[in-house]
Chains A and B, each alone.
Chain A
Amino acid sequence: MDKEWLSLLTLILAIVAMTYMVAVGLIYLILFLIASPRIKKERYLNQEDYVEELAFNKDTFPVSVLIPAYNEEVGISTTVRSMIGLSYPQYEMIVIDDGSKDDTSRKVIEQFKMTEIDVALRKYFDTKEVTKAYQSSVHPNLFLLRKENGGKADALNAGINFSRYPYFAAVDGDCILDHDALLKVMKPIIDSNGLVTSTGGTVRIANGSTITRSQVEKIALPKSPIVLLQIIEYFRAFLIGRLGLSRLNILLIISGAFGVFEKNRVVKVGGYNTKTVGEDMELIVRIHRSIKEEKSKQRIEYIQDPVCWTEAPDSAAVLRSQRKRWQRGLAETIWLHKKMLFNSKYKGIGLFSMPYYLVVELLSALFELVGYAVIIGGLLFSLVSLDIVIVMFITTVFYGSLLSSLAVLLEEWTYHKYPDTKSLIVLFGWALTESFWYRPLMVWWRFGGLVQSLTKKADWGNMKRKGISSE
């Protein structure tokens, strides 16, 4: 009798998990159908000509590039050097050392010949104390702020206080930007005459590619399976998820690695929230919220061009802490703005976007965990028929791999692509293995992050950098 009940319960759980996976798969498929025409349309566009007008135009809005850094001594010089080479008429770069315990500041001061300056700071936001400020004697538009440790959000707020220009770009201290990255992400803002208030670009994983003196010279795949799967995951998240949502103007994430914001709007909503680890997403949600509350026509856009390169974790331990942190950030943001959930006042954001991030991005760990438990439990204890287990197993395999394949297709239509056919085969091959090892790992870690979000406090998170550029 007990076993009958258990079997029935397992069967119900199996059907719920399967239905969930099919539904999520369909949502992604719809997002793919929304995103793909845009990428296909711009497939053969001459990218250089497309932004050339902005590069020499005196009316191109000036931008402050903020680079928050905490223990980034390995990559900070590379990142700053990639910024110095940006093709943009007027910009300043502000490195904010958030109380690093390593030689981050010393590296910047020595590499770029910085001298100390006095500053008359405006205070849009209260932050931990800025102890010293420096300006480069070789690049007058490069500054360094040293401050007491307060977290990434606090560092960005300090950078906004110091910045002079009407738009700012937030760039992670371990990222490298393409030389025309700023032009590309500013183009929607400029073309819309300020109607677009924030933009983000695609972040690509640099592991495996050849980057010399902060310039991407050859794009190639890494050897590490864990990084390869992250590459596929990024394609799916950016080219399908974000672009699809952006086209509906309900995108809730501009990657913390690289995004551009209208300063006035950010000041109006109160800057970055220092009490969450998901400060990038939380800020976007607040911007959306204020746009909707003001009944403003402003919007947030995402561009599909891969313009920002970052180093992905290549060890399970680092990846685990990264994913747990992301999951906590997502949970905290949804909890902070739970009023928006299913609230028609916020239109697409309240009725689709927030529920999507709750059910698809946050709770998927829970549903998928149930799915795996059913497969394993069903096989071990014969609680469900073998047919059901086989169907679930195949669903699980194809659920991820088809979407990954579609993401690879979209990647093939973007600007930077892998230069050989072998890469395609490798990506497709690894996409098929995703469900056997990578996805279960992610599910387990994200579930851990979900649990942690109820207990832990915010921090930067740690990753031992190797650096992605050679000299």
Chain B
Amino acid sequence: MKQIEAINDFVIKFANVNGSGSASANELFAKAILRMGVPVSPRNIFPSNIQGLPTWYEVRVSEQGWLGRRGGIDMMVAMNPQTWDADVAEIEPGGYLFYDSTRALPPSKFRDDIHVIGMPLTEICNAVYTDPRQRQLFKNIVYVGALSVLLEIEPAVIEKLFGEQYKGKEKLLASNVQALHLGRDFASEHLKAPLGIRVRRADRVGDSIFVDGNSAAALGCVYGGATVAAWYPITPSSSVAEAFQKYCGKYRVDPATGQNHYAIVQAEDEIASIGMVVGAGWNGARAFTATSGPGVSLMTEFIGLAYFAEIPVTIINVQRGGPSTGMPTRTQQADLLACAYASHGDTKHVLLFPEDPTECFEHAAAALDLADRLQTPVFVMTDLDIGMNQRLCAPFAWDEARELDRGKVMTAQELEAGRDFGRYKDVDGDGIPWRTLPGTHPTKGSYFTRGTTRNAYAQYSERGPDYIYNVERLLRKFATAATLVPQPVLRAASCKTRLGVIYFGSTSPAMHEALEVLTGQGIHLDALRLRAFPFPASVRDFLDAHDEVFVVEQNRDAQMHSLLVNELEVDPARLVRVLHFDGTPITARFIAGAITQQVHAEVVKPRSRKSREKVA
């Protein structure tokens, strides 16, 4: 029988029961490989429930450093009888199945083309532990021990990780090490090891860090100077606020007074949370909220107010599967249009698209600056895939000389000096007016903020010219935004090509791998990674420079495609949709497959330049 042979290049998946304590054991497994210098990329795949139902943890091991999902499973650690059939079916031919063999299973439960490794985990644990919870918990550590033998993961590395985790808790440390060796001893004596897939020490991790996007975004809010956070719990965004709380507790308590340099409120709902952010932004504090699709829906009235009244607001939207409650614990990039045009009337909002936790950190800090600079709502559009999974990424960096950009806030001195103050007046030609903060000056600079229309001096006015001046200025401001937002990143193909591909956000790692696969097949694409909406001028240049551009995104309705067509008035026929929307993170296989198919179809039936021009 064929046997998958691969060193430092395989995918292993753990099928567990939610609540069985497997999460920390599985993370331990991933981290141990990482500590051996081999890049890993784990993904939690969990349904929307608390306990008892299935949960998976998929670890991609890739010495080359591919961090996207590859597709296919080389080894399944099948710990959940409930999902057994589907789990077994997922294994690649020649792959491996590891299972708890305490209870015998009929032959029909296995496959002929995979290698089955049984280990009586329950029996071993029942013999050693008497406490039911211990029996359950240590079963996970025992299988990690066995896997370390099968895959040649160094036990010393795992022990060191235990040491870090249970520092000062010697009893826990000792019992975990014992469980690890219980698994190792059994595997060494009874199982054929090592397997065809295994780990070998390498030096490919460098100074990368291993962190999830939500923590990173929260840290970005700390560094970006956010002082007010208001939020309402919603998966997959809750851990942004929770991490912000944790970091603030660590970094933002005044050592002299013990007082907090921050305020965090768990609001009664998303409407109140954005309302608080609007109030704080109006009053000159940097404020943000974190939410997901249904929360954004509730916030839209306030988002329109913030847009029209020109108030800085930062919203971290960790996208999940929609519409409605949709797939709350699955990932998508399906809120683009809802956020870009949130609220009624003519509105347009700034969106940022971080590709990984490092950029979650950077974009969160940048969003706070941009919101103040532009006096408008700014969305950081992450998703569950980046937000809730730990990723290997570049270390966080901060320029000590960087100053928080507070934007155009007129001071009492400037007012006193007689500077003309018209709250909604475009003095600098960039569409961004000056503002004053409440309490600034006894007689100058006060104004009334409202969602109703007004003139340049903030006085209520329904006069057509006043209204048009204002809303056209807002468009001018949006054009300014295009020059201030993070610019797109170009990856040019190694040779000249008429084909391009546009992608953004969490699609990034899978895309990079797909590009290499495609190059191997002779398909060369220039790739542009969008990092923000409004689209900077270089996006149009890219579209103009290519005959055909694939737009890869994780939603059903090709929302980025729509934004490009709508905002740049590009001929839709030149944009080819590559859509992935089953709620799982997009894979390199999927992207490469979809593009190859399209390119081959075109070879059979080429689309002539002429016919395209007719469409245009």
Partners in one complex: no
